[in-house]
């Protein structure tokens, strides 16, 4: 059965919220913890994703038998296309293949890109692109970056190059601004997966899954970097802001009211529906009541090892508390959560009593 317009909008909302959460977290670290901490977080985030996704992804995309340089560039081209990110690809030879991410950059949405330092953007390349040769067992494969959008270039671009000799650590990612430029790309002749003919529902579900991986990587990486207490503080702060900023956009696409300032039962029911539909689209087991949302388990964190699962939840929960405040600042949301041998049990109760949201 085809999904309704509300379900499709909810899939899109999940992608929008977690895309924004990743961007907000990095910017928050830059401004509050400093460029070095933000750079280290981005490096660890993308190295973790690389180690989990790269080799299985090569096989799944049918690229395992390609020469290493083209295989790596094609991997980024196809995997980003699956997530709805425009990417260009060009193979010059078996030893050299280009990949380009033209603006607007998906990860640095809107004006956020103006606050991203060079080193923080480069950390993504060091975390992922520079490790491809290591994962492939090819100690002669490196990535040469010829431009990044955060530096005012018309896209992040570069090429994988097989030097045919062992390379040093500093050669795994090398910057060569002004020396080379990716040749013209014929967009009509770019490689295509079957995604081009996917229905809207499948495309949005893939976009949702792509963005959800940011959350799954974010929670354990941030706790390992900052400790559970500071991770909760930093992630919770930006999660609330994202909820405040993006509730209106996502609610209107679901044809639900926002910023109503009624503080009544009808308003509580409207927010319960928004929250329940978004969590259901995320893949959670949800029951939606008139003024209550129940979640059995927390599927998004299955198989994750978290230093402090409850603090990770409380940080994530700020996303929904922020959204509730944007929907109707005269509602109160109370969150009841527990984790035991049977797993997670979570309930949000949305009340018409005036007051501040709490968890």
Predicted TM-score (pTM) of this structure: 0.93
Question: Could you tell me if residue 67 is inside a domain?
Answer: yes
Does residue 216 form part of some domain? no
Q: Are residues 50 and 177 in the same domain?
A: yes
125-139 pLDDT per residue, tens:
999 999 999 999 999
Q: Which two tokens stand for residue 171?
A: 């050669």
**148 by DSSP, 3-state: which?**
coil
The answer to whether residue 168 sits within a structural domain is yes
Q: Half-sphere exposure (CA, 13 Å, Cβ side) for 50?
A: 22
Asked, for residue 203, whether it belongs to a domain, the answer is no
Rg (CA), the chain: 22
Taking each helix axis as running N to C, give the angle between helix 265-282 and helix 5-32, from 0 to 180 degrees, rounded to the nearest 10.
Answer: 80
Element (H, E) at 350: strand 343-351
Specify the CATH number for the domain of residue 143: 3.30.1380
If asked whether residues 9 and 90 sit together in one domain, one would say: yes
Of 197, 215, 236, the one marking the end of a domain is: 197
- Name the more confident of 209 and 305: 305
What residues contact 341, with CB distance under 8 A and at least 6 apart? none
167 and 279 share one domain? no
**Residue 195 pLDDT grade (very low, low, confident, very high; cuts 50, 70, 90):** low
**Total number of domains in the chain:** 2
Both 158 and 244 in a single domain? no
Region 241-259: what's the mean pLDDT? Answer: 95
Q: In the structure, what pLDDT confidence band is assigned to residue 259 with cuts at 50, 70 and 90?
A: confident
Mean pLDDT confidence for 58-85: 90
Instruction: Please check whether residues 141 and 24 belong to one and the same domain.
Output: yes
Does one domain contain both 240 and 286? yes
Tell me whether residue 178 is exposed, middle or buried, using C-beta atoms within 10 angstroms of its C-beta: 0 to 12, 13 to 18, 19 or more. Answer: exposed
Q: Are residues 29 and 172 in the same domain?
A: yes
In a domain, 110, yes or no: yes
Of 119, 147, 135, 118, give the one whose Cα is nearest residue 172: 135
Together in a domain, 187 and 234: no
On whether residue 254 sits in a domain, the answer given is yes
When pLDDT is cut at 50, 70 and 90, the band that residue 194 belongs to is low
State whether 174 and 125 are in the same domain: yes
pLDDT of residue 187: 84
How confident is the model at residue 354, as a pLDDT?
44
For residue 268, which of 285, 256, 255 has the smallest C-alpha distance?
256
Query: For residue 288, what are the CA distances in angstroms to 269, 272, 291, 331, 354?
Result: 9, 7, 8, 17, 22
| pLDDT for residue 2 is more than 60 | no
> Is the domain of 166 the same as that of 283?
no
- Determine the Cα–Cα distance for residues 221 and 24; give it in Å rounded to an integer: 15
Give every CB contact of residue 189 below 8 A, 6+ residues apart in sequence: none
- Could you read off the pLDDT of 319-359 as tens digits, one per residue? 999 999 999 999 999 999 999 988 999 999 999 864 444 44
The answer to whether residue 215 is domain-embedded is no
The alpha-helical segments, DSSP class H, found in the chain are: 5-32, 35-60, 68-82, 118-127, 132-136, 200-226, 228-253, 265-282, 309-327
pLDDT at 206: 79
Residue 169 belongs to some domain of the structure? yes
Q: What is the DSSP string of 289-318?
A: -SSEEEEES-GGGTT---S-HHHHHHHHHH
Domain that holds residue 81: 5-197
Q: Do 103 and 175 belong together in one domain? A: yes
Do 254 and 193 reside in the same domain of the chain? no
Tell whether omega for the bond before 359 is within 30 degrees of 0, i.e. cis. no
């Amino acid at each position: 059965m085809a999904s309704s317009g509300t379900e499709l909008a909810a899939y899109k909302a999940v992608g929008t919220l977690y895309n924004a959460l990743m961007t907000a977290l990095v910017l928050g670290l830059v401004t509050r913890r400093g460029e070095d901490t933000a750079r280290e977080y981005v490096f660890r985030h993308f190295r973790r994703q690389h180690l989990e996704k790269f080799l299985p992804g090569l096989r799944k995309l049918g690229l395992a038998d390609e020469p290493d340089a083209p295989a790596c560039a094609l991997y980024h081209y196809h995997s980003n296309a699956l997530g709805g990110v425009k990417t260009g690809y060009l193979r010059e030879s078996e030893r050299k293949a280009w990949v380009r991410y033209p603006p607007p950059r998906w990860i640095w949405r809107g004006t956020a890109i103006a606050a991203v330092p060079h080193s923080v953007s480069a950390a993504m390349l060091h975390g992922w692109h520079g490790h491809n040769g290591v994962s492939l067992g090819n100690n002669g494969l490196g990535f040469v970056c010829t431009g990044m959008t955060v530096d005012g270039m018309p896209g992040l671009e570069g090429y994988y190059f097989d030097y045919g000799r062992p390379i040093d650590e500093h050669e795994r990612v090398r910057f060569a601004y002004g020396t080379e430029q990716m040749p013209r790309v014929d967009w009509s002749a770019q490689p295509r997966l079957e995604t081009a003919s996917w229905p809207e529902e499948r495309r949005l579900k893939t976009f949702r899954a792509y963005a959800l991986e940011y959350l799954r990587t974010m929670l354990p990486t941030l706790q390992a970097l900052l400790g559970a207490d500071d991770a909760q503080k930093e992630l919770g702060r930006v999660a609330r802001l994202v909820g405040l900023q993006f509730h209106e956009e996502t609610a209107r696409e679901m044809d639900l009211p926002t910023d109503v300032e009624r503080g009544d039962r009808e308003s509580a029911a409207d927010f319960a529906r928004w929250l329940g539909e978004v969590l259901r689209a995320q893949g959670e087991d949800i029951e939606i009541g008139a003024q209550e949302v129940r979640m059995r388990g927390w599927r998004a964190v299955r198989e994750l090892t978290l230093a402090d699962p409850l603090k990770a939840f409380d940080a994530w929960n700020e996303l929904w508390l922020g959204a509730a405040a944007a929907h109707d600042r005269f509602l109160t949301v109370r969150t009841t959560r527990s984790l035991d041998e049977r797993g997670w049990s979570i309930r949000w109760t949305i009340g018409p009593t005036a007051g501040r949201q709490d968890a």
